[in-house]
Chains A and B, each alone.
Chain A
Amino acid sequence: MKKSIFKTLAIPAALLVSSMTFAADTIKVGVLHSLSGTMAISETTLKDTMLMLIEEQNKKGGLLGKKLEPVVVDPASNWPLFAEKARELIEQDKVAAVFGCWTSVSRKSVLPVFEELNNILFYPVQYEGEESSKNVFYTGAAPNQQAIPAVDYLMNDVGVKRWVLAGTDYVYPRTTNKILEAYLKAKGVKDADIMINYTPFGHSDWQSIVSDIKKFGGAGKKTAVVSTINGDANVPFYKELGNQGLSAEDIPVIAFSVGEEELSGIDTGPLVGHLAAWNYFMSVDSKQNKKFIKDWQKFIGSKDRVSNDPMEAHYIGFNMWVKAVEKAGTTDPEAVQKAIIGVEVPNLTGGTAKMLANHHITKPVLIGEIQDNGQFDVVWETDGLVPGDAWSDHLPGSKDIVADWTDKLGCGNYNSKTKKCSGQNY
């Protein structure tokens, strides 16, 4: 019974595939993004980005003399289905690598599959860290590439003394806020000056929470909200901020999950001046970025479509994979895993991204203020590139742990005090 449902679901994907160029001998690339359900809003764009990148690579003559062939499946925002679809991609379609996942829970769900079958996953979204798998390459930001610099900016440049950590109730906000809380306390912020609040997915009635934030911020010290609120819930949250007259000058909100794509659905008038921390903004003025946006809008057939940070992460991840395959001379996952460490490719903000031994990459950190056209104006950026740190230095449990997948250690969870690899792969 399960099998047959499986097959019916695979039909649309198969149709999609057959409409692509069908050479006898191709390299298959898996695309594992939800095209239906709650996450479809964000993930559909990433699927399209991958199709564009693959098409461009094919125009350049493919890879190792073969054409690339995308295999698109729809895990439908259903976490266990992610694991099933990943297995299907690797075992049945024999893909060389998979690009996919958005939420941390979906990544955690596919991780055992990738480790068992020893394939490669490129994960393009900022996440909570505390993980480094032999089979996963994290092209989004680790907490030290987004959350920590954002807090530094607010503390040093804006002079914030009181902190509201507001998030959606799941693993990414909870872990990020744990790290931030430890970091703030280490910087001398008192318990009374930190307010932590969690809300369910899709929360829409923000009246009392915004009113609490207003009261908390009325205590005479500069207050800021660090928001790990995810998805849909952001729109009513910002609307309520505007309605209750909390302006960005009084209490700025810095968001880690609100980008150009999320803003394209709302009237940004009341949001002007609120902040977001990312490693890429569409408004960044660089040659590569201009070309990328032009190609993207042409591919998707609309001048109104925006680009965002996870798209850049896929751009970097895909180019790294291509380079590593060329370096290794094969698409064999084991060889590519070795070859990719140390690979450098240009990012879209005018710098270079380098794959590190812990499977994270180097990124610049940018802080942008929301403009009334739905774009971000960069107000601050780190001096250079920040290397991604898999295990946070600010949490007691993970301070001593390092990840190094070169032959030196070959471990994602090495305790430098006890000199032991925990054996646990992630």
Chain B
Amino acid sequence: MSVLRKGRAGIYAALLHIALMLLFSPVHSALMPDEDIAVLKEGSYGDKSDLVISLPERPGAVSLLPVLQVMLDGDLYLSADEKLLSVTDAPADQYLIIDIDAGTESVVAEKGALKRVRINNSVRRILRRTIAQLQLRSDDVGVRLAAVKQIIDKVDTDSVAIIREYFPAEQDADVRDAMALVLAVGDLRSGDPALAEAAIETLSTSLEPVALNTLQDFSEDTDSTLLARQAEKAIEAIQGRVRVYENLETLYFGLSSGSVLVLAGIGLAITFGVMGVINMAHGELIMLGAYTTYVIQQLMPELIGISIIIAIPAAFLVSGLAGIIMERLVIRHLYGNPLETLLATFGISLILQQTVRTIFSPLNKSVITPDWMSGLLEVNSVLALTWNRLYIIVFCLIVFLALVFVMKKTPLGLQVRAVSQNRNMARAMGVRSQWVDALTFGLGSGIAGVAGVALSLITNVGPNLGQAYIIDSFMVVVFGGVGNLLGTLFAGMSLGVMNKVLEPSVGAVLAKILILVFIILFIQKRPQGLFPQRGRAAEG
């Protein structure tokens, strides 16, 4: 067979030669024979699945791995002369075409003449398994381990047989452990009592869902009470450990949703908390930040990876400027009139929303999450932390610390605090209170814009973005204690955790209601919030 294939490839190489000379003649892929190409081109999904399943049987099948990988990604195309191509997007609406046989690259503007190899979920499933099967032959330990992990998720009799074949030759301890787990699942499922005890032992140390499921099935089916008891003990051990990790996961979810609340609220902690302006347009300042991120990504499509980093200062400037303009034109005339401020800023929020609707259309815009922010940090098979949320928690803490630094350690912060505590005295000391007001409002607004950058990654960027967060922002600031940054941090985090603890048992709708009721009751008891302002400012 192998000789035959090589012979074929030789013939094709010769053909290629002739083709080059004649400049025209269909030349096919050396990786796959014609009939396979025909299946890829015109076969049904079932035919494609059958083809993929049969591939590992062939000699030299490992060389097909790149083709399968490209096919799984949905990027596999056939050229008019039936070459296997990988076609992916290139900058400026062009396409990068890689000839998988030859390894040559080219960039084109049109892919109309190329035929895409279409796949569906069942083909994808089989592709993944086949790739894993082929990867077991890899020299790279990491690749082999990933392949076994891939198989663990969907153990069946075929995959147990495959692993059994590779197990004796495997040298690496980690890969052997993972393989042993698959074999234990196979042993326990086989129902052979001689193998069961050792298998239960192996499975009881694992956190993989398949281990638990297999043990549960076994304890229900087995005739031996002794083995059933052993299995139940193992199940309890696993469940105990799983519960610990699940609680950790809930805590993580809570902190991450809390950090979103803190980000949304912390700008308001300055404008509302320190300055006392009831700013109903706060949500729209967040929205401006989110749209800034979108615009930056549109302006520099080649730099999606760092666009988010660039967007942070840009959003700060855009929202900060918008805030300063608002303050100078409207709000400063209304100091001391909370009701009028509320109405005026509500009007501004509507104006901002409609402006965005006019410029960007009422449709939502999509902000692309950079690759380095997507995916999971897998601690084990129960606990996995999503990268984007992890970054947002870290980002939230950085913003908080930066803000605390500005307020406590810089001259601006000193002046802001002085003006908010006693305006007349501060003016008498030579502080330009109007200038400080504008800058403070700009700072709070700018922070709202920065929050918008983070929110653009996890929610819809649309004209209504701000409305969704304005209530939450006020809730956090009031709960934390007006005018206290640390209070805002604690309030946001604890509301987030509370929400996530409640959510699984009572549902998302009721959890929200319960939190709201809790805050109302809390404010009744302690109107000044978690961390009240002390001293003269509290009365003033």
Interface residues of A, Cβ cutoff 8 Å to B: 36, 38, 40-41, 44, 158, 169, 197-200, 202-205, 207-209, 211-212, 215, 218-220, 232, 235-236, 239-240, 242-245, 247-250, 252, 264-267, 270, 272-273, 369, 371-372, 377, 379
Decide yes or no whether B365 CB sits under 8 A from chain A.
yes
Q: How large is the interface on B (under 10, 10 to 19, 20 to 34, 35 or more residues)?
A: 35 or more
Decide yes or no whether B210 CB sits under 8 A from chain A.
yes
5 CB-based A-B contacts, threshold 8 Å = A197-B508, A207-B389, A209-B503, A219-B213, A249-B124
Residue in B121, B209, B250, B374 whose Cβ sees the most chain A Cβ within 10 Å: B121
Q: Do A245 and B128 touch across chains, with their CB atoms under 8 A apart? A: no
B124 / chain A contacts, CB cutoff of 8 Å: 247-249, 273
A-B residue pairs, 7 tightest by C-beta = A218-B209, A220-B213, A265-B364, A204-B459, A207-B253, A243-B386, A249-B125
Secondary structure at the B interface, as helix, strand, loop or mixed, is: helix
Query: What residue in chain B is nearest A379 (Cβ atoms)?
Result: B120
Residue in B128, B374, B388 whose Cβ sees the most chain A Cβ within 10 Å: B374
Query: What residue in chain A is nearest B507 (Cβ atoms)?
Result: A198
A372 / chain B contacts, CB cutoff of 8 Å: 74
Q: Do A272 and B366 touch across chains, with their CB atoms under 8 A apart? A: no
Q: Do B508 and A243 touch across chains, with their CB atoms under 8 A apart? A: no
Select one of B74, B362, B374, B459 contacting A243, CB under 8 A: B374
Distance to closest chain A CB from B415 (angstroms): 37
Beta-carbon contacts under 8 Å, B372-399 to A:
374-376, 384, 386-389
Query: What residue in chain A is nearest B364 (Cβ atoms)?
Result: A265
A38 / chain B contacts, CB cutoff of 8 Å: 464
Q: Assuming the A-B contacts A200-B509, A273-B124, A372-B74, are A265 and B504 also in contact, with contact meaning beta carbons closer than 8 angstroms in the complex?
A: no
Decide yes or no whether B221 CB sits under 8 A from chain A.
no
Contact bitstring B496-540, A, C-beta under 8 A = 1, else 0: 000110011001110010000000000000000000000000000
Distance to closest chain A CB from B445 (angstroms): 22
Give Cα A251 to B500, complex, Å: 23
Q: Assuming the A-B contacts A38-B464, A208-B253, are A249 and B512 also in contact, with contact meaning beta carbons closer than 8 angstroms in the complex?
A: no
Distance to closest chain B CB from A169 (angstroms): 5
Contact bitstring B202-230, A, C-beta under 8 A = 1, else 0: 00000001100110010000000000000
Given A36-B362, A169-B509, A240-B386, 11 more A-B residue pairs with CB atoms under 8 Å apart are A41-B364, A41-B462, A204-B458, A205-B260, A207-B256, A209-B503, A211-B253, A220-B213, A235-B459, A235-B460, A270-B374
Q: Assuming the A-B contacts A207-B253, A212-B504, A242-B374, are A377 and B118 also in contact, with contact meaning beta carbons closer than 8 angstroms in the complex?
A: yes
A204 / chain B contacts, CB cutoff of 8 Å: 458-460, 468
Q: Assuming the A-B contacts A198-B507, A244-B386, A249-B121, are A239 and B468 also in contact, with contact meaning beta carbons closer than 8 angstroms in the complex?
A: no
Interface residues of B, Cβ cutoff 8 Å to A: 45, 74, 118, 120-122, 124-125, 128, 153, 209-210, 213-214, 217, 249-250, 253, 256-257, 260, 357, 362-366, 368-369, 374-376, 384, 386-389, 458-460, 462, 464, 468, 499-500, 503-504, 507-509, 512
A220 / chain B contacts, CB cutoff of 8 Å: 209-210, 213-214, 217
Give Cα A198 to B513, complex, Å: 14
Give Cα A263 to B449, complex, Å: 26
